[in-house]
Amino acid sequence: MSDAIKQQIKELLKERNAVLLAHNYMRDEVQEIADITGDSLALSIEASKTDADVIVFCGVHFMAESAAILSPGKKVLLPRLDAGCPMADMVTAEGLETLRAKHPGVPVVTYVNSTAEVKAHSDICCTSANAIKVVQSLRENEVIFVPDRNLGRWVAQFVPEKKFIFWEGFCPTHERMTAAAVLQKKADHPEALFICHPESAPEVSCLADHVCSTSGMYDYCRTSPATKFIVGTEAGILYKLRLDSPDKEFILASPALFCPNMKLTSLEDVLVSLQTMSPVISVPEDIRLKAKLALDRMLAIPRD
Ligand code: 13P
Ligand code: SF4
């Protein structure tokens, strides 16, 4: 059954000149049929340079919005319109403007896990893969960082010369991973390294041997001489970690690391989306142009 669906998806992708992008947290079978999988930064770059006519975005709403902002000539499909990100909804453009008014002249760095409207009210975007470099690239010695307080506080440690004003947003999935759960896993597997995402709470990320974006985890685990890892991010990451390093062992740090939004998209949803060419994600032109400036500034920062 699922083989037949996969075949139909492949044929429709070809017929529509469409590219299928999938975030590293997607269900295994969705990652398996994707043309490109990656973290938020890699997928933004792909979306900005693809020559396909259609982008099928298997991820959450803000990711498809970023693709629509960066590729205005293309049709962007989000197979599940209800796949949102609770952290992105924790900051509004009005709230951000109120904060900005209290700190005139202070640049706003906005994590891509945010709405197009919030990006439009920002100076520069960042992802978890480039946040330190983005903050370091700014001339000012103060920054407003929204919406993720955990990513912001993690970045601040590497840029001690700057003063940070944090928005108190967070990822509910990563915050469900407690320090107690991690310490228990470390006690059960003393030889394992602990890696986690910077969306984790500070009391968890301070326990980590390495903190990085989802794609950073693939590189780290592939090249590390260690053979056992406790993994502190959403469970979908395990699919490619195990594929990349079949001889290594990966243990999820907590059973709570499950993002219900990232798990919504099924193969059937992808097929229906390609058949009906919907739901289409678009951004009003005035917002798109302003949000694109913030994303373009981020994309202009050289990668490692
Ligand atoms: P990255 O893939 O950029 O590490 O982001 C994690 C995330 O939570 C996306 O929603
Ligand atoms: Fe949002 Fe967290 Fe889910 Fe990522 S993992 S989509 S930040 S709720």
Domains annotated on the chain, with CATH: 2-84+262-282 (3.40.50.10800), 88-170+288-299 (3.40.50.10800), 177-252 (3.40.50.10800)
CA angle at 9 for the pair 8 and 15, rounded to the nearest 5°: 90
> Residues near 3 by Cβ (< 8 Å), separated by ≥ 6?
none
Residue 200 structure tokens = 């984790």
Task: Name the pLDDT band for 1 (thresholds 50, 70, 90).
Answer: low
| Mean pLDDT, residues 122-132 taken together | 96
Helices (H), the chain: 2-15, 28-33, 40-49, 61-70, 93-102, 116-120, 131-136, 149-158, 172-175, 179-188, 202-205, 214-223, 237-244, 267-276, 285-299
State the pLDDT at residue 48: 82
Residue 170: is its pLDDT beyond 90? Answer: yes
Strand order across the beta sheet in which 18-23 lies: 36-38, 18-23, 54-58, 75-77
State the pLDDT at residue 289: 98
Q: What is the pLDDT of residues 284-295, one digit of tens each?
A: 999 999 999 999
Which of 60, 199, 213 has most ligand 2 atoms within 8 Å of its beta carbon, as the pocket-test mutant? 60
Q: For residue 52, which of 66, 23, 73 has the smallest C-alpha distance?
A: 73
Amino acid, single-letter form, for residue 89: D
| Mean pLDDT, residues 85-98 taken together | 98
Q: What percent of the chain has pLDDT over 90?
A: 93
| Mean pLDDT, residues 223-228 taken together | 97
Alpha carbon nearest to ligand 2 atom 1, residue: 85
Residue 302: is its pLDDT beyond 80? Answer: yes
Q: Taking each helix axis as running N to C, give the angle between helix 214-223 and helix 237-244, from 0 to 180 degrees, rounded to the nearest 10.
A: 20
Residues within 6 Å of ligand 2 by CB:
60, 85-87, 113, 171-173, 199, 234, 259, 261-262
| Mean pLDDT, residues 195-220 taken together | 96
Q: For residue 234, which of 264, 204, 197 has the smallest C-alpha distance?
A: 197
Q: How far is CA 5 from CA 58, 208, 269, 274, 283, in A?
A: 16, 40, 10, 12, 30
The greatest distance separating any two alpha carbons of the chain, rounded to the nearest whole angstrom, comes to: 58
Q: How far does the centroid of ligand 1 lie from the alpha carbon of residue 33, in Å?
A: 20
Which of 58, 234, 263 has most ligand 2 atoms within 8 Å of its beta carbon, as the pocket-test mutant? 234
Output the average pLDDT for the chain. Answer: 96
Q: How far does the centroid of ligand 1 lie from the alpha carbon of residue 226, in Å?
A: 24
Which of 31, 39, 154 has most ligand 1 atoms within 8 Å of its beta carbon, as the pocket-test mutant? 39
pTM of the model: 0.96
Q: What is the pLDDT of residues 27-73, one digit of tens each?
A: 999 999 999 999 887 888 888 888 899 999 999 999 999 999 999 99
Please tell me the distance from the alpha carbon of residue 171 to that of residue 177, in angstroms, as a whole number: 11
Residue 304: is its pLDDT beyond 80? Answer: no
Q: For residue 290, which of 114, 68, 118 has the smallest C-alpha distance?
A: 118
Task: Name the pLDDT band for 262 (thresholds 50, 70, 90).
Answer: very high
Residue 203: is its pLDDT beyond 70? Answer: yes
Amino acid, single-letter form, for residue 279: P
Tell me how many helices (H) and strands (E) the chain has: 15, 12
Q: For residue 191, which of 158, 224, 151 has the smallest C-alpha distance?
A: 224
Taking the CB of residue 276, how many other CB atoms lie within 10 A of it? 11
| Mean pLDDT, residues 114-128 taken together | 97
Cis amide linkage into residue 198, ω under 30° from 0: no
